[in-house]
Chain A
Amino acid sequence: MLGARHDAARAVGEAHSVALLAEGLRKAYGATVALEHADISLAAGKVHALLGENGAGKSTLVRILTGAVRPDAGTLELNGSYYAPQTLIEARSYGVATAFQELSLVPNLTVAQNLLLPDMPRGPLGLVSFRRVLEMGSDILARHGLQRIDPATQVALLPLAERQRIEIVRAMENASSLLILDEPTAALAETDWLFDRIRMMTARNVAVLYISHRLAEVREICSDATVLRNGRSIASVGLAEASDDDIFEMMVGRRVDHTARNRAASRLSDAAPRLSVKGLSGHGLKDISFELRPGEVLGIAALEGQGQRGLFRMLAGLTVPERGAVQIDGLPTTLSSPRQALRAASGIAYLPEERKTEGILAGLTAATNVVLPVLPGAAYAAMITPQAELRAAGPSATKVDMSPRYLDFAIGDLSGGNQQKALVARTLATGAKTLLLFDPTRGVDVGTKQSIYAAIRAFAEQGGSVIFYSSELPEVVQLADRCLALYDGRVFQAFEGDAIAEQALVAAIHGHAGGHH
């Protein structure tokens, strides 16, 4: 059956000419096989999706195509001829370019310099001509409708979304036969500009490989998809013929059940607020007030950069608000550090935005990572053994459905999903009654998402309070008892109970007051 699907994909591919054909790609890093056996065929002028859970091998495949790593086995053909790029630059010379997920712009160079790397235009003396760099940079920006960006600005000073656009533009400028977009919408609030640009590329007969976790987007722009699971290409399908559940099944290897959520609204109406925020301002926030009650899950919905980061960092004690007051359990509190936030009254525990740079401590065991905030409690007279850490971390790990056998691994060696589970377990282990979860399921697979959702619900049912921000609206709809839509640093609209619906949220986060209650 899978074979049949594969043939179907090829038939689709042959309508347009095949731009890239990869067969039997394999790559191992030491004992770890990142890519077992991948086949993929991309048609010129079409957008092809690459789907798969984290660790399925997508990034490895991208790196092979883009010349950053060389496969151990398998063949690549580009436009009918042998293709084996040794370096990124060589791949570029074949017209293959990638917009990387983690963005590959150099922060201390200007926009124009980044667009032209690594070879700058030179003046008569063979020296780099700053004037021509700027000219060429602004030409490129203008071509892609980004005139608003000053080519002489340092990249570091730009907002994340603009950086992502520049990353994409740079790849497009270098891609004449194959464009690879790895999670291109991670920081983009809307897809109009991107899809417009992609259509321009396909009109030029460029093949596009599109990688995203967001299936709705994929359905909108892509015609076909290849699904990777555990380093193998499972199937290539026409997206029109496959339902979401089919695709999830291929990605995960089992069906995902949609359990109806039960909102806790009725339980909490009369309880005293656990957290009360009044007039909080600064760091992108303008006069935010709200209350959070025991047992409540409060969702924050917003486009990128509407002040949600400031809100979470202030409540976590990482930044100081310019104005405003915070009360925990009715007591006025100044949150000056995460450590102090943990100890303030019933405690606030924070799950940071960036797992790799703010979350995990890569070399330490998962158990140490989980118990770190409560280490003195797990120790006798400040002395601690690895066994004591395992014992202390066990219960929290169980709550997030993380197998205890992973606890004595260095957390850096675990999969992204298990790392995230460990970090959620850490917030639970602190014993804090309020959890601040910033995008708790960012970049994790479907199975891990379900475990994290279950842990959040269980925590709330036992009287805990949760504030979470999610970049995915369906997640807010599914989890939140109450939801605040932020726009331009203010609470634009609040939703409660069944009023939390995706369409209404979309309007609100864009600043359109649709359907007031």
Chain B
Amino acid sequence: MTQTPEPTPFTQAGDTRTSAKISRDTISAVSVAVLCVLLLLSARLVSPALGSWTQVETVLVLGFFLVVLSYGQGLVILSGGLDLSLPATITLGGILATSWVGANDPNAWYLLPVVLMICGLVGLMSGIGVVWLKVPPFIMTMAMSIIVASALLGYTNGTPRGAAPTAAVALMKTELLGLPTPVIVLVAFVAMGWLFQSRSIYGRYLYAIGTNLDAARIAGVPVTMMQILPYVISAMCAGFVGIALVGYSSGATLRMGDDYLLPSIAAVVIGGSSILGGRGTNLGTVGGAILLTTLGTIISALGMEFGLRTVIEGSIVLFALLLLREELFQKLRNLWR
């Protein structure tokens, strides 16, 4: 407990571990991507209508929601937390977009960003609760979820009204440069997300505090800000998804976010992140989200029932976890010495 246990003898290991280390993170991302392609191609064997380019587009459009959402969730998990308030925040974004922005459609250009900021405020409160009130993330975001959901219930009197703002519809249902707009937005989003997580100092800070908060604090990392920030980003991602969802389905419901919480965590886990934080890449998470969406599309195209689809989804999460297990063993051994 007090003394540092003896380290791994370095002499015998040699330099080969450098390459192993670099590939370790990318392996999971690449293998998930390969799995997606294989799935789409093999679906083609089952039915020629599947696996076409149109279907790839469909998957990307449908995957839009989960990719954006799991990016935020991934950041929170990376920093050592967990965001259970996503469903409520999605609904918040969706309901504000319909009942408030939808009624003032011409002003949507500034009202939609305000909606995002309101959602960000929810994240800010979660973050502050975690950092200053020292409530565990699990409890804090759960409480926020319950509170926001209840507030929305009261705000809408149980029945959300209003129509989707045209901007949200445009986002989801137009084409740009011959591709569906959401696909373009998605690519830009992922690129920016990668820059932030893997190539910015803030990303490094997040890895640091997720690995060891105390050590990061001692190393001079601005821990307070970096603990709160991911919750704000995650909530804004959720709000964005809420807006996009009403654009896609032209309306909001009080339960529109419910089906996204578990997949958002599952996508992060499938992508090779550690649920304890400090490890994982956002490309892996994107892969995880796309994989789950691909699977969902294929299964529903095959006419399989929803229950079986859920079972398969769960099995894939389990499979991903078991694949990562060898690493965990190594970690545990290192802890032992």
Contact = CB atoms under 8 A, between A and B. Distances in A.
Direct A–B contact in the complex, CB atoms closer than 8 angstroms: yes
Interface of A: 29-34, 36, 54-60, 63, 68, 101-103, 160, 163-164, 183, 186-187, 230-231, 316, 318, 337-339, 342, 350, 352, 354-364, 368-369, 372-373, 375-376, 379, 382-385, 405, 408-410, 412-419, 426, 430, 442-443
Given A372-B204, A375-B205, A383 B195 contact: yes
B13 A31 contact: yes
A68 B335 CA distance: 13
Contacts of B220: 338-339, 342, 372-373, 430
B308 interface: no
A361 B2 contact: no
Given A55-B10, A379-B201, A409 B17 contact: yes
B190 interface: no
Contacts, number: 168
Given A103-B1, A352-B215, A373-B220, A32 B201 contact: no
7 contacts: A32-B13, A54-B7, A59-B6, A318-B218, A359-B218, A383-B199, A415-B8
B4 A443 contact: yes
Contacts of B217: 318, 337-339
B2 A419 contact: no
A58 B16 CA distance: 25
A412 B219 contact: no
Contacts of A101: 3, 5
A346 B205 CA distance: 24
Give 8 nearest A-B pairs by CB, closest first: A373-B220, A416-B7, A55-B9, A415-B10, A361-B211, A355-B4, A59-B6, A415-B7
B216 A357 contact: no
Interface in B307-337: 330, 333-334, 336-337
Contacts of A33: 9, 12
A103 B1 CA distance: 6
Q: Which of B16, B202, B205, B220 has the largest count of A CB atoms less than 10 A from its CB? A: B220
A416 B334 CA distance: 12
| B contact residues, range | 35 or more
B3 A186 contact: yes
B9 A415 contact: yes
Contacts of B218: 316, 318, 338, 350, 352, 358-359
Interface string B23-40: 000000000000000000
A362 B199 contact: no
Contacts of B305: none
Nearest to A353: B2
A494 to B, nearest CB: 28
Contact of A186 (B2, B17, B334): B2
Q: Which of B4, B202, B219, B337 has the largest count of A CB atoms less than 10 A from its CB? A: B219
A419 B334 CA distance: 14
Nearest to B220: A373
A187 B18 contact: no
A55 B8 contact: yes
B77 to A, nearest CB: 14
Given A32-B8, A230-B11, A359-B218, A103 B21 contact: no
Given A364-B211, A372-B208, A430-B220, A410 B21 contact: yes
